[in-house]
Amino acid sequence: MVLAELYVSDREGSDATGDGTKEKPFKTGLKALMTVGKEPFPTIYVDSQKENERWNVISKSQLKNIKKMWHREQMKSESREKKEAEDSLRREKNLEDAKKITIKNDPSLPEPKCVKISALEITSLIGGTMKLLLQH
C-alpha cells in the first residue's frame, strides 16, 4: 500500500490498528516510516498545535529524529536476520555432525552385563563392565 500522505496522532492514533489515513492515523512517526519501508518517504502530517487546524506537516527536526530511529531499526533488523541465518547454518552443520557420531561397545573390554540398579551387588561387579537400564 503506497500513500502520498501519512497521518500520525499522539492523541487518537494507534500503531496496532492504524493505517496512516486521516481516519486511522498511526500513533508514532517511526511506525509510519516502517510501514512505508523505504525512501523517499511520503509527506507526514502530525497533530496541529493550533486550535483551528487539525493537521500540520511534520517539522524537519522531528522527521530527522524519526529517520535516525528508522535507520537504527533497519540496521538492527538486518543484523538480526544475518545472525538468524548464521545460526541456522550452524544448527544444520551441528545436526549433520551429530548424525555421524556412533556409539559402540569397546571390543577390548568384556561384553557388558544388563543389571537393574536395585539388584546390584557391587562386590561381584568390580572390574567388569555393565550396561545400566533405566526404567520409568
* pLDDT tens digits for range 105-126: 888 888 877 777 676 666 666 6
Q: At residue 2, does pLDDT exceed 60?
A: no
37-78: pLDDT as tens digits: 887 888 888 888 887 778 888 889 988 999 999 999 999 999
Average pLDDT, the chain: 83
> Full-prediction pTM beyond 0.85?
no
Asked if residues 37 and 76 have their Cβ atoms less than 8 Å apart, the reply is no
Identify the domain containing residue 25 by its residue range. 5-99
Count other C-beta atoms under 10 Å from residue 112's C-beta: 13
Per-residue DSSP letters for 21-83? SSSS-BS-HHHHHHHH-SSSPPEEEEE-SSTT-SEEEPPHHHHHHHHHHHHHHHHHHHHHHHH
With respect to residue 126, please indicate whether it lies within any of the assigned structural domains.
Answer: no
Q: Who's near 98: CB < 8 A, 6+ residues apart?
A: none
- State the pLDDT at residue 55: 85
With respect to residue 37, please indicate whether it lies within any of the assigned structural domains.
Answer: yes
Domain count, the chain: 1
Of residues 44, 39, 51, the one with CA closest to residue 27: 44
- Residue 63 is part of a domain; what is its CATH number? 3.30.1910.20
With respect to residue 14, please indicate whether it lies within any of the assigned structural domains.
Answer: yes
Asked if residues 9 and 25 have their Cβ atoms less than 8 Å apart, the reply is yes
With respect to residue 110, please indicate whether it lies within any of the assigned structural domains.
Answer: no
With respect to residue 44, please indicate whether it lies within any of the assigned structural domains.
Answer: yes
Residue at grid coordinates 538486518? 78
Q: At residue 102, does pLDDT exceed 60?
A: yes
With respect to residue 78, please indicate whether it lies within any of the assigned structural domains.
Answer: yes
